[in-house]
Structure 1
Amino acid sequence: MSFVCRPAVAQIHIPTYTGTPLMITGGVLNQQILHASVPGARPSAHVDRADPVSTLVPEGRSQVPRQLAQSYPPEARSEAQRFFAELLTGYQSIEQRFGIPRRDLAGAVAAFIAGSWMAYRGRPFPDRYFPPLVEQSRRILASLPQLREATAPARQETYEQLAILGMFMATTQMALDRQPDRATAAKVRQAAKDYLEQFLSVDADRVSLGPKGLSLE
């Protein structure tokens, strides 16, 4: 099993792997928010726990599929943009399947970590571990004043980026499960390692996902 909803994935055209899109760092939520997903992160002393920050993202015009496609060669950008838009739409099935509120940043964070973990470890991510990971992400994000101060476009950009990249890594790993390719698998594993380490600021080998969410070995 995988946390990716297989009927939805079956409708997504997975192009031949030509490289992994780069994470967008400029213009998204502060890296402090991203790094706060590390276990042990502490909320600011100024945060009122009785008034947590909402992790829901307002509706807005989608820009991230086009932005991510810019890391591809010019002749491949149009297809890449369509593909990333499909992944973003496909992610909605994950929200529905696990009862995650629509456009919840916590779900996108969990999907990104789970998808990258799948690609790095080269194996499926158990469904039962996903809800605890979402809840862990929500608790941490909701405690951060940076999220309260973030603009609606910044929230949306981060939500879309993480949802798309999480789906990208998961669907690519599923494609490799169906049709193994050692060279491609090595590239995808390296990309997943880079994602995890950039996002969590820890060695990817230390990242463990289980019934209590994310922990460090």
Structure 2
Amino acid sequence: MKHIVLFMMLMAGVTPLSYGQCCGFGMSYNNVVVWPAPDLRLPVAEEKAAHKTVAPAVSRAKPAVEANAQQLSLHFPPDKRAEMARIYVQSMDIYLKIEKKMGWTPRDLAGGLAAFVVGNYMVLKNTEVSDEAFAAVARQFRAQAGLRELGKKQDQEKLRDVFEQSAMLGTFMALAHKSHQQQPQPPDVYENMRNSAQESLKLVLRTDPATLRIDASGIRP
């Protein structure tokens, strides 16, 4: 069971100090509306077949990593925003390395959405997720008809923002989980992080995240 994701995080040496100041971070309302809710009933076997014939949804807009990092930092107190924007930019750098290691099309929207779900899931469940499971979640998104249509019809800048913010937040949360493993946070701090993860997953998946599980078959309700 490989853990490329965790390896890349450890190699990056990122141990942000601001997890304890978390104050309810998440996607902006507009991006939550755009986010395509996956059909969790779709078997991974079907996703594999679909992946062979379906081009991934990729925004054609110019990257705006710093702007999206600043947008996400607004969920924190004013005195923490500059630090959090820096951490989100760093999180995006790590995600792009992970994306390359996974062999995905650069800036594939499905990968960013998968990172968001997996990172929040890791915090919520206080557990690891294997590369195989991470890849299965990405396939699950990639095979969704709604996601493919989104890639064709959605405003390209908004599509870019969904991808970048999802990837940043997911990587940030996975880093938070890894940081907690190495240096446990006080129970109330980690509970605050778990609550944030739960609310984020509830918003984007439109279901109760308490019953979710992620394994080599993808996301299951």
Moved over 6 A (4+): none
In 2: Cα distance, 1:123 partner to 1:192 partner: 13
Q: Hey, which of these two has a bigger chunk of helix by percent?
A: 2
| Of 76, 79, 90, the match for 1:75 | 79
Aligned to 1:202: 207
Matched, 1:192 2:197: yes
Is contact 2:32-2:203 (8 Å) kept?
Answer: no
What is the percentage of aligned positions where both structures have the same residue? Answer: 22
Where do 1:131-210 residues align within 5 Å?
Answer: 131-140=135-144, 144-181=148-185, 182-210=187-215
In 2: Cα distance, 1:68 partner to 1:155 partner: 16
1:125–1:83: structure 2 CA closer, same or farther, 3 Å change rule? same
2:5 maps to amino acid: V
| Of 84, 87, 94, the match for 1:90 | 94
Is contact 1:109-1:134 (8 Å) kept?
Answer: yes
How many matched pairs? 205
In 1: Cα distance, 2:33 partner to 2:149 partner: 11
The normalised TM-score by structure 2 is 0.83
Q: CA RMSD in A?
A: 2.3
In 2: Cα distance, 1:101 partner to 1:146 partner: 17
In 1: Cα distance, 2:41 partner to 2:36 partner: 13
2:213 maps to amino acid: S
1:12 maps to amino acid: V
Give how far 1:156 is off: 0.6
In 2: Cα distance, 1:2 partner to 1:188 partner: 23
Give how far 1:141 is off: 5.2
5+ residue gaps, structure 1: 42-48
5+ residue gaps, structure 2: 43-49
Greater CA drift, 151-160 or 16-25: 16-25
